[in-house]
Structure 1
Amino acid sequence: MFSLQTIFGSGQQFYTLLDEAAQAAHDSTKALHTMMKATDRQPALDAFKLARLRERAASDKIGKALVDSFITPIEREDIEALGSALYKIPKQVEKFADRYSLAIQHLDGIDFAPRAAMLEQAASVVVEMVHEIKKMNIDRMTSLNEKLRAIENEADRLMLELYRDIYSGRLDHLQMFLLKEFFEILEKAIDRCREAGVVAYQIVLKNS
């Protein structure tokens, strides 16, 4: 006798699709960090476009699967919320890359690599958290959530250092404006990672 799960599927494909979305988001942050570490720091926008396309494809697949599937392993609203949160990460990273490519000639001597490294770390934790959802291990997820929170706190501390640089007097008005804008974009990208992590954590908290 066939069970409903056999007929309609178990919904396990949603875990795979969410993993794909998280990895695409992480890849966009890796591309940014690599660009910021490079000696010439020349924008290679193709890497960001590709990550966004992969993220968009994963998001579209999630949306279609939600329409087509009778069974989901977790609540549909949670899948939608996590998919939406993951989608916003590479979108924010691409925003930075696009604007950076237009303003690079005004940013000589400004090092974005440390903040880009923190963003990559945050996205890496998000990948772990999304992958761990299927296991519903609250202790592991709590540990990862605390790790992500620590990265966010460190990013907030670095933002205070940024304002010291802005008001140091060594920058012209255009550089002051650009420095503030670009670091705020990076800060928001880390916030997007934190938001995705919170959704993943709450899913496990609710279902464990």
Structure 2
Amino acid sequence: MFSLQTIFGQGKQFYSLLNDAAVAAHDSTVALHEMLKSPTRTPALEAFKLARQRERVASDKISQALVDSFITPIEREDIESLGSALYKIPKQVERFADRFALARHRLEGIDFAPRAAMLEQAAQVVVQMVAELQHLRLEPMKQLNDRLRVIEAEADRLILELHRDIYSGRLDAAEMFLLKEFFEILEKAIDRCREAGVVAYSIALKNS
């Protein structure tokens, strides 16, 4: 006969897999920040592809574990939602990096690094929130969620400042379109971090 400890101890691999996914997402934001701090260097895209690959592996393992496991530590729908939210972060980051590598000669004088730093900070908080899930302590999770909201608000302010370049009158139509596309990609990447944080916080609320 299985003990209750044995039964409820099953399914803990999900926390490890979600942690792997969160760390891969964060690593992609670190690579982006490093690239944008040195925009004159030829961008190396291997780090982004590696992060995406690690994210895919973690996502595939989560999906398979949901099929194979009878018991999960939190609801299956929550695991799926958080895994999906984490998957979207490096996908968006790689999208920015790929386009930046092609168009950086058209982006001279535009400093994306401070915004990328905010994205990196947001992704780091997401890593902490995912790691905290296995403890399901509401107060630490609330503090992290509040911190993520502050970072998101500051990032929105910085991105709004970037829009001033669009409407400065010194850009032609093609340049305005290009900058707008980059702003939207970067903003969406930060939104993806926020979405992952919301899912993690809702899981803590539900299970604490």
How many residue pairs end up in the alignment? 208
Structure 1 alignment gaps of length 5 or more: none
Question: Contact between 1:145 and 1:197, CA under 8 Å: does it hold in 2?
Answer: yes
Q: Tell me which residue corresponds to 1:27.
A: 27
Which amino acid in structure 1 is aligned with residue 17 of structure 2? L
Q: Distance in 2 between matches of 1:149 and 1:38?
A: 28
Q: Tell me which residue corresponds to 1:83.
A: 83
Q: CA deviation at 1:8?
A: 9.1
Which amino acid in structure 1 is aligned with residue 31 of structure 2? A
Q: CA deviation at 1:131?
A: 0.3
Q: Tell me which residue corresponds to 1:157.
A: 157
Q: Tell me which residue corresponds to 2:120.
A: 120
Q: Tell me which residue corresponds to 1:49.
A: 49
Question: Contact between 1:18 and 1:130, CA under 8 Å: does it hold in 2?
Answer: yes
Q: CA RMSD in A?
A: 1.5
Question: Contact between 2:8 and 2:73, CA under 8 Å: does it hold in 1?
Answer: no
Q: Tell me which residue corresponds to 1:179.
A: 179
User: Which TM-score applies when normalising by structure 1?
Assistant: 0.95
CA shift digits 1:19-59 (9 cap, x unpaired): 00000000000000000012524221110000000000000
Task: Give the fraction of aligned pairs with identical amino acids, expressed as a percent.
Answer: 76
Question: Contact between 1:48 and 1:90, CA under 8 Å: does it hold in 2?
Answer: yes
Question: Contact between 1:19 and 1:127, CA under 8 Å: does it hold in 2?
Answer: yes
Q: Tell me which residue corresponds to 2:191.
A: 191
Q: Distance in 1 between matches of 2:70 and 2:150?
A: 39
Question: Contact between 1:8 and 1:70, CA under 8 Å: does it hold in 2?
Answer: no
Which amino acid in structure 2 is aligned with residue 207 of structure 1? N
Q: Distance in 2 between matches of 1:8 and 1:15?
A: 14
User: Which TM-score applies when normalising by structure 2?
Assistant: 0.95
